[in-house]
A and B are shown apart, each in its own frame.
Chain A
């Protein structure tokens, strides 16, 4: 592969992960909104919230990843996309604000009525956001974004057959994925009633989403010729086939109550279609801009690739840890409570720390304020840091509080 496609590969991979993980978050909101009323509905809403709570933030950052890598590696393309597609992106941004705010507020909502209100706002924005993002993708995929500062049409660039279709598809996929995950989680926790509730939802959403995907092919035929021709009449059709097979397979797995397997089959369907899109659109990024024209300079690309790979080395083990803890139920309600440590009295060492703090303060002022060389400034900052640490030990706030 050429150097300038690597970051695009990362972006697409990030997009897949966002659809699969972040999408499930959106879907959870979808089910909260349509849970209805009564005890059963409350159980649905609580389950949807509790399953998502520990991973919500991590899932969400994939979007930030996609944006920042695109921005660094293909600055001109991102600038054109962001200005022409300002409207759907703005709607998505508002949706994200509301989702995050209500997510944070649910911790404080104790009365049912309050929770209901919070969950409803959460649910509405959980539909708005994927729809708007999907519509923006539709605008890019149907090549309605030209290069330049807001040089495309602000409305028709996304509010068109392809954009709307992909927006609806995004909502459907989210709901479907969420239903699968929530069924699997409920089964893991042995909540048979919830399993049935979400299984039915998963099957329903799967059928509807599958039908929407099939319908979207027709839409592309009339609204996005180039994409249609290359996606279905060229080699990328293999990816479409994989996606269709994987999609049907998840439906069969859910029907056959093999939820854990379904959890892993669903991402394949999403990944395949994104890969197919990438291949079909190649070599174009925008209507009049190829990937290699959009790419930043060589040294930037190398820096991005190194940063992503290096970041990945740290990131993936951490992510694996999080998901292992969550899926293993280690972060769930009522997991092992561990006992408190022994109570011990510790003498405080305030006098020594006091002297250290004074010494650090003098060194800091000398090196940072009086001296002029950059290295002295560095040492001075370190000394002032030492001053604060030693000072906290010397002041001994915990001891103060005990005595007061």
Chain B
């Protein structure tokens, strides 16, 4: 149930992270050039942003409930360690909500530079809000800042637990870039479809070019950051890395298998083997020793194929998106124009949904790869779960409600898209 809620919440969150900055960029273009196209676009996107934010608020509130409802032992034991992060997150969202109110309803009503300035806190709080959640997740993956004593967490130092945590930084950066990637490609894919349907006026061209440029540049960066994440995982959660790669036994000069399926006997069938690549990527040394799944007893291993599939999906899509980004930049320099080819536009239209898939797959990789632990090496998932009955009923209800929410959201966005341009 938690996973379902995350899957609903996280794509929305990407818009909370990246959309305010993109809208502000467009508004800034308006302020600098006085060209009304930019204002129309920024106002339009503001309304979309508010709608998405409102749904982000609800799904996030549900998550805070669920944390208490589903994981009482987890929150009960460790709330003191990481709850601080959520408390600060709460403040961030508060500030974000306040300034989104001012910004959204201040269009044409506040002096224009004041209006622009009221958008800046939204960008900052979108960042700090996600920062705090990621700090918590980083801590779950690499718990520090406390001592376990008879099943209770003692000597708690929340600051150290959350911010002096070596696992936190790559997750933060990777997620942040993912936010821009998802927002950029999803928005661009909407306008790519519009362009394929013949809407080639200046308004639609601008609405396509801006998010596409941002996402195209962020995509190659994401590959580099992802590689950094993998190196951190290699040193801090070797079992997770072994699951990524289906590496059964601790191996010197370990290979990478692209695609394929992990067999219970530890072999990978139908995969393409690239010798020594894993050792090189993970430790910058083609002959380094990589720890395999056999380093821990079977009951401490995550479900290998699930993790592997998720990981390969993310990396595969990430590579494709980066390629698309490079193609875009090359075409732009060769022709000096927005690429027109239907193949290219079709690829952009696909990139939006694919980036969301990569996002979810990435979180599945992290979370499923950490199993059977909720708090890595300290508390098992089975020990954290609630004792209350009726979870399946609640689960069904939640699925229905979320579906309804998404349908309603889709309907509203379509309505907003059809509203006349420039009007209110």
Chain A contact residues, CB within 8 Å of chain B = 53-58, 60-61, 63-65, 67-69, 71-76, 78-84, 86-87, 89-90, 92-94, 96-105, 107-110, 149-151, 154, 296-297, 299-300, 303-304, 307-308, 311, 314-315, 318-319, 321-322, 325-326, 330-331, 335-338, 340-346, 364-365, 368-370, 372, 374, 377-378, 381, 384, 387-388, 391-392, 395, 397-398, 400-404
Q: Which residues of A contact B284 (CB under 8 A)?
A: 370, 372
Q: Does B272 lie at the interface of the complex (its beta carbon under 8 Å from any beta carbon of A)?
A: no
26 contacts between A and B (CB under 8 A): A54-B101, A54-B102, A60-B61, A61-B90, A71-B83, A78-B68, A79-B68, A82-B69, A90-B69, A104-B50, A107-B50, A150-B388, A154-B388, A296-B79, A297-B156, A303-B84, A319-B98, A331-B101, A337-B108, A341-B112, A377-B228, A388-B180, A397-B209, A400-B213, A400-B338, A404-B200
Determine if B411 and A108 form an interchain contact, defined as CB atoms under 8 angstroms apart: yes
Given the contacts A105-B412, A300-B80, A401-B209, A369 and B68 also touching, CB distance less than 8 Å:
no
Determine if A78 and B75 form an interchain contact, defined as CB atoms under 8 angstroms apart: yes
Determine if A346 and B387 form an interchain contact, defined as CB atoms under 8 angstroms apart: no
Find residues 144-186 in chain B having any chain A CB closer than 8 Å to their own CB: 153-159, 166, 169, 173, 180
Report the tally of A-B residue pairs with Cβ distances under 8 A: 346
Query: In the docked arrangement, what's the CA distance between A52 and B53, Å?
Result: 16
Chain B contact residues, CB within 8 Å of chain A = 25, 29-36, 38-39, 47, 50-51, 53-55, 57-62, 64-69, 72-73, 75-81, 83-84, 86-91, 93-95, 97-102, 104-106, 108-112, 121, 153-159, 166, 169, 173, 180, 200, 202, 205-206, 208-210, 212-214, 216-218, 221, 224-225, 227-228, 284, 329, 332, 336-338, 340, 386-390, 394, 397, 401-402, 404-405, 408-409, 411-416
Determine if B75 and A71 form an interchain contact, defined as CB atoms under 8 angstroms apart: yes
Q: Which residues of B contact A94 (CB under 8 A)?
A: 397, 401
Determine if A86 and B209 form an interchain contact, defined as CB atoms under 8 angstroms apart: no
Given the contacts A93-B62, A307-B87, A400-B338, A314 and B95 also touching, CB distance less than 8 Å:
yes
Instruction: Provide the main secondary structure of the chain B interface.
Output: helix
Determine if B101 and A71 form an interchain contact, defined as CB atoms under 8 angstroms apart: no
Query: In the docked arrangement, what's the CA distance between A315 and B166, Å?
Result: 30
Given the contacts A68-B90, A296-B80, A336-B109, A343 and B33 also touching, CB distance less than 8 Å:
yes
Determine if B214 and A104 form an interchain contact, defined as CB atoms under 8 angstroms apart: no
B151 → A minimal CB distance (Å): 12
Max chain A C-beta neighbours (<10 A), residue from B33, B216, B329: B33
Q: Which residues of A contact B33 (CB under 8 A)?
A: 343-346
Determine if A388 and B84 form an interchain contact, defined as CB atoms under 8 angstroms apart: no
Residue of B nearest to A57 (CB): B97
Determine if B101 and A61 form an interchain contact, defined as CB atoms under 8 angstroms apart: no
Determine if A104 and B84 form an interchain contact, defined as CB atoms under 8 angstroms apart: no
Among candidates B78, B98, B387, residue contacting A75 with C-beta atoms closer than 8 Å: B78
Given the contacts A57-B57, A314-B95, A68 and B83 also touching, CB distance less than 8 Å:
yes
Max chain A C-beta neighbours (<10 A), residue from B47, B98, B404, B416: B98
Determine if A340 and B34 form an interchain contact, defined as CB atoms under 8 angstroms apart: yes
A81 → B minimal CB distance (Å): 7
